[in-house]
């Protein structure tokens, strides 16, 4: 009963405070609904960026990856700092100067309408079929374990309980996304983000104390260092999920795309009130990411020791750990902030998807004469359709293996081609439009062929974790990490566009035109803060290298 009461109290508090802060916001126009009226300041930007990223696919998925592979998976958090620095210093000024609402809009400015339409379609497909269902699935899995919903509801069938939980979360998220614009979501993100950080650190503290027994937290840390010390190696073994060499190929590229060109994430920065506020918000996010291993990796390492020898799945480890170590009077609070994190990422994906559809397809191709009010109404209708589809599809993900590994592999299929085109479009002003479109198509064919089609038709192998027969991946056959494959694909696309810029260059060098009402004066402290963050990244890697 105490768990349910604390859950309801924090949920109502977050919703009520968000309503009070944003009750006078204008959301009927495209700029108000999708960009928060370009009024976001750096604390709101940082809070929203962090919580849009920090949902249950991170809390459940990354801790699950640490449960299976050890500390080396912290690369997804620590190396993100480098990507955020590049976003603040290089990408953000260009995006804000162009005055865009979506990344495909930038590609249209740089290349042509055909390239914009392809990128827009790729984003929409990936978000609708991959990102949004994964957010719902991982959120439902985490909530079921943390609150022990099986006992509360009396529903014994796991799949039925998963379906019902996905629908409940999905309906709540759909209501938020329809009623509020970007600023409403950003404020709610910030409130829940504070709660989630507090809760995340609590889990790590209580879990270390549980592992240490009478010796307390220090004893728990000693156990981690002395029993299976190989699991706290920052660089990872060659056979781990994230070998050290991949930090400079596929892992680096996935981080760069995610934090520099992923519509779901960077749409928050497009709503900045000035370039300086945007840069402060992005770099503050980078500083907060340095703390990520404490609550996104450490609990997974602890869970490995506590559940060693038991039949606990990777994606169940975090929820079971929380249920085991967290006092009952705090369980409801943590479940509430977890739901807030789920809704944050879910809402962000819905808001971004509706922007891509309504601005990129509806107003661009279907109804160019539509006014702002009609465009926003269409966006809200599309939100409803996508949310319902996600509720139906999310439970099917229970048949996948490692949630986080699956997410990164599927993300690569569209991350790499789009990022290559954006980067070359910015760096080389002579790259022609035809080569950008061709490169995206080639990238999709190569990555779909190697990451999806090939494993589907390959011979099978025995999975040592489940004792089941599964199809061999491209990496199993070649001995070559999928992350290196991503790096090679990226290099291939860069070569294609570089050659095209020499053989058939754009007739006139492209120039980025200013099309924004906000102050574009850079923040003077950005270079110094960036240098400090890089130093901390190096210190973390050196400190935990075995």
Q: What is the pTM assigned to this prediction?
A: 0.80
Catalogue the E-assigned strands of 381-479. Answer: 460-462, 469-471
Percent of the chain with pLDDT over 70: 83
Domains of the chain with CATH codes: 2-22+38-396 (1.20.1730.10)
Average pLDDT over residues 8-16: 68
pLDDT bracket for residue 3 (50, 70, 90): low
Asked whether the predicted pLDDT for residue 315 surpasses 80, the reply is: no
Q: Which residue has the higher pLDDT, 96 or 156?
A: 96
Asked whether the predicted pLDDT for residue 471 surpasses 60, the reply is: no
Asked whether the predicted pLDDT for residue 276 surpasses 60, the reply is: yes
CA geometry: angle at 475 spanning 474 and 476, to 5°? 90
Asked whether the predicted pLDDT for residue 257 surpasses 60, the reply is: yes
Asked whether the predicted pLDDT for residue 77 surpasses 80, the reply is: yes
Task: Please give the Cα distance from 366 to 312 (Å, whole number).
Answer: 49
- Residue 297, pLDDT score: 92
- Residue 90, pLDDT score: 95
- Residue 14, pLDDT score: 66
- Residue 32, pLDDT score: 47
Asked if 335 and 139 touch (Cβ cutoff 8 Å), the reply is no
Element (H, E) at 187: helix 182-212
For 320, the token pair is: 């079971």
How do residues 161-205 score in pLDDT, each as one tens digit? 888 888 888 887 777 666 655 566 666 667 777 777 888 899 999
pLDDT bracket for residue 539 (50, 70, 90): very high
Asked whether the predicted pLDDT for residue 239 surpasses 70, the reply is: no
- Residue 260, pLDDT score: 93
Instruction: Look at residue 464 and give its three-state secondary structure.
Output: coil
Asked whether the predicted pLDDT for residue 401 surpasses 60, the reply is: no
For 371, the token pair is: 């006014």
For 220, the token pair is: 């728990």
Residues 6+ apart with CB under 8 A from 384: 174, 178
pLDDT bracket for residue 467 (50, 70, 90): very low
Task: Quote the radius of gyration of the chain (alpha carbons, Å).
Answer: 23
Task: Please give the Cα distance from 41 to 39 (Å, whole number).
Answer: 7
DSSP state of 91: I
């Amino acid at each position: 009963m105490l768990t349910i009461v604390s859950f309801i109290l924090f949920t109502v508090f977050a919703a009520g405070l968000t309503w009070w802060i944003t009750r006078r916001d204008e959301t009927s126009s495209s700029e108000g609904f999708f960009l928060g009226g370009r009024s976001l300041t750096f604390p709101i930007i940082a809070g929203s960026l962090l919580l849009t990223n920090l949902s249950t696919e991170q809390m459940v998925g990354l801790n699950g990856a640490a449960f299976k592979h050890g500390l080396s998976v912290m690369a997804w958090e620590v190396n993100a700092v480098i990507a955020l620095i590049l976003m603040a210093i290089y990408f953000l000024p260009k995006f804000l100067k162009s005055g865009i609402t979506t990344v495909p809009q930038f590609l249209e400015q740089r290349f042509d309408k055909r390239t914009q339409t392809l990128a827009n379609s790729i984003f929409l497909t990936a978000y609708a079929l991959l990102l949004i269902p994964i957010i719902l699935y991982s959120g439902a899995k985490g909530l079921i374990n943390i609150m022990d919903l099986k006992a509360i509801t009396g529903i014994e069938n796991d799949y039925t309980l998963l379906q019902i939980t996905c629908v409940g979360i999905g309906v709540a998220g759909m209501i938020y996304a329809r009623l509020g614009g970007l600023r409403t979501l950003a404020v709610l993100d910030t409130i829940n983000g504070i709660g989630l950080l507090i809760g995340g650190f609590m889990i790590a503290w209580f879990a270390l104390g549980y592992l240490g027994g009478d010796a307390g937290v220090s004893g728990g840390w000693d156990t981690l260092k002395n029993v299976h010390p190989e699991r706290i190696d920052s660089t990872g073994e060659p056979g781990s999920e994230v070998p050290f060499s991949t930090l400079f190929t596929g892992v680096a590229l996935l981080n760069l795309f995610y934090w520099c060109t992923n519509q779901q994430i960077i749409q928050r920065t497009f709503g900045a009130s000035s370039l300086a506020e945007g840069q402060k918000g992005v770099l503050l996010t980078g500083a907060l990411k340095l703390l990520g291993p404490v609550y996104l990796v450490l609990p997974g390492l602890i869970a490995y020791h506590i559940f060693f020898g038991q039949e606990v799945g990777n994606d169940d480890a975090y929820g079971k750990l929380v249920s085991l170590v967290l006092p009952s009077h705090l369980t409801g609070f943590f479940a509430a902030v977890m739901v807030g994190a789920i809704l944050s990422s879910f809402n962000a994906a819905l808001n971004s998807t509706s922007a891509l559809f309504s601005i990129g397809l509806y107003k661009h191709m279907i109804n160019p004469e539509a006014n702002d009010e009609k465009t926003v109404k269409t966006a809200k209708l599309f939100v409803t359709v996508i949310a319902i589809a996600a509720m139906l599809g999310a439970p099917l993900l229970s048949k996948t293996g490692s949630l986080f590994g699956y997410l990164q592999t599927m993300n690569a299929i569209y991350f790499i081609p789009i990022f290559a085109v954006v980067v070359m479009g910015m760096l080389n002003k002579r790259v022609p439009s035809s080569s950008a479109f061709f490169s995206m198509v080639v990238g999709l064919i190569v990555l779909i062929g190697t990451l999806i089609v090939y494993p589907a038709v390959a011979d099978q192998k025995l999975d040592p974790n489940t004792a089941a027969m599964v199809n061999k991946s491209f990496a199993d056959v070649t001995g070559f990490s999928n992350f290196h494959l991503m790096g090679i694909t990226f290099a291939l696309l860069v070569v294609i566009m570089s050659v095209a810029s020499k053989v058939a260059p754009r007739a006139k060098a492209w120039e980025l035109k200013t099309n924004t009402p906000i102050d574009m004066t850079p923040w003077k402290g950005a270079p110094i803060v960036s240098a400090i963050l890089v130093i901390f990244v190096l210190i973390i890697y050196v400190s935990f290298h075995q």
